[in-house]
Homo-oligomer: A and B are copies of this chain.
């Protein structure tokens, strides 16, 4: 019997494994997905979906199913500190969870039990023919290369040990969580950023209380200890309480606490307010060490992501969100390699891009955890005069709050900034055209490696008011935003853009889809190539845009992706064309913004008459795609 072959074996059906699996299943890959647990998460675990992740879930068409569970939404965080004269606690202030200076569509954190989130993915996977094989675990693997096309051999077994399978795959992915068999086998070490470890208690339950902020996210520091309050769906509340710290004199990483002990501590911390539990849904005490895997892959065949690669405290609600973005980053890169668009070497950028983010996260977390677990001085101790703390103990009362505020962009998910590389254009990129726009030069606000700014526009075909950044689903395509300025001024440049896209050897024409001649008339996103979807946005009123008259045939084929930039935006109140203005492009002359399949900006190019715009893009794509483009030399990676 011949051995079964898969494109990928995914181990672990938590957030990272599920998102990866969902993407690849939609794009037609053959997947073996296993999980050790007999059923999805029943209680507890992660529950915070940050604003940026909600964008991603919406882009995957999963947001509505998530929201159908009526999650709690956190718009503000309240800070509570010791009151003067030891009279319990008082609120020292509140701060937006995702403040207005962050341009977020969904400026709140969504709180929902991880199991409910997993089920949304699982249901989507089932529609694409993938069923998680449970409870199965991985028992061995080797990237032996015996089969050139499926170089990884993987052994899996039922957790009871009574059934076994050996299969081959192009890739193996471990989303196993902190205790990863794959990582151990690879002998990949964990680096601990912060030597301090903590033991945390976390309790989900339904409470009665007169504490006024029980439906808000709160950080509470009191003389009796510190606590974090997180509201949840269905009237639930999660409390995080620090049970022990390696800075304690009697530090014991196996120190524990009973439900009753934690509740008693919570009561003391919340005094003078009272709190009682109707029921406890989940309670767990666990030690948390900060750690980051030294490598995310050794050979770009066996990959790891999520908690397997980075562990940290749960309090900033970053775990699941970082896992989602790990998976999304890897998914389209595997897709671009396996579908013949991009050079295999791009897979190296998974580790370089995502490990940086994890390092930033751990740095943030170490600071945050340290400040959080310090007892904050009471108002009386600090007083109005003590602006200059005299020692470590006497930190400025607002240091924690200050850090919280400074970190909002990061915790909302919008702070993710990938460094310059082949995808994220910079002066040092192999593509050197003078037409590239940059924030530094003031010719665009869009920064390579950062998310595209959101913008509201009117879709010409049906006059629907839409979110431009959401118009292309997560389909694995590069998103070409042709900001076409004023039609009267850009007519020739737009025609030339299309003409040069059509030329043999352009990045666009070199990757025509093989089934292009038999395509459905109603194909909206990929009528020419699986790797590109083109949006055209005019600085004009919708009724004045006659798509087939204004646009050359190639661009008019994206009939459902033509937009009028005619919606007023409070953030650029004086702009005539708000989307152009938000992108920092000329409202008259426009510009082209290339966005990676994951929504991060790749580069921006001036829109000019002649071939210059497409030439620049040919150079950009030539730096990582599989073919020579534009007749020029293949750029060196």
Contacts and interface: CB of A to CB of B under 8 A. Distances in A.
A522 B210 contact: no
Contact of A521 (B64, B76, B208, B231): B208
A72 B462 contact: yes
A184 interface: no
Contacts of A206: 522
Contact of A546 (B212, B465, B547): B212
14 contacts: A65-B68, A68-B68, A73-B462, A73-B464, A74-B462, A74-B463, A75-B462, A75-B463, A94-B543, A108-B464, A212-B547, A216-B463, A231-B462, A235-B522
A548 interface: yes
A548 B73 CA distance: 22
A154 interface: no
Contacts of A68: 64-65, 68
B465 A75 contact: yes
Interface in A535-576: 542-543, 546-548, 560
Interface in A192-241: 206, 208, 210, 212, 215-216, 231, 235
Interface of A: 64-65, 67-68, 72-76, 93-94, 108, 206, 208, 210, 212, 215-216, 231, 235, 278, 458, 461-465, 521-522, 542-543, 546-548, 560
A258 to B, nearest CB: 25
B212 A462 contact: no
Contact of A67 (B64, B73, B546, B548): B64
Contacts of A462: 72-75, 215-216, 231
A206 to B, nearest CB: 7
Given A68-B64, A212-B547, A548-B212, A76 B463 contact: yes
A467 to B, nearest CB: 13
Nearest to A61: B70
A24 to B, nearest CB: 23
A235 B547 CA distance: 19
B64 A548 contact: no
Contacts of A94: 463, 542-543
A224 to B, nearest CB: 23
A322 B235 CA distance: 36
Contact of A464 (B75, B212, B521): B75
Which of A65, A461, A548, A560 has most chain B Cβ within 10 Å?
A: A461
A472 to B, nearest CB: 16
Contacts of A560: 215
A321 to B, nearest CB: 20
Given A235-B522, A543-B94, A548 B463 contact: no
Contacts of A67: 64
Contacts of A464: 73, 75, 108
Q: Which has the most chain B C-beta neighbours within 10 Å: A67, A72, A74, A462? A: A462
A108 to B, nearest CB: 7
Nearest to A461: B215
A474 to B, nearest CB: 16
Nearest to A524: B235
Contacts of A215: 461-462, 560
A93 B541 CA distance: 13
Contacts of A73: 462, 464
A527 to B, nearest CB: 14
A65 B70 CA distance: 13
Contacts of A212: 546-548
A360 to B, nearest CB: 27
A102 to B, nearest CB: 15
* Top 5 A-B residue pairs of the complex, sorted by shortest distance between their CB atoms: A76-B463, A215-B462, A75-B463, A215-B461, A94-B543
A560 B214 CA distance: 11
- Report which residue of A64, A210, A215 has the largest number of chain B beta carbons within 10 angstroms of its beta carbon: A215
A41 to B, nearest CB: 23
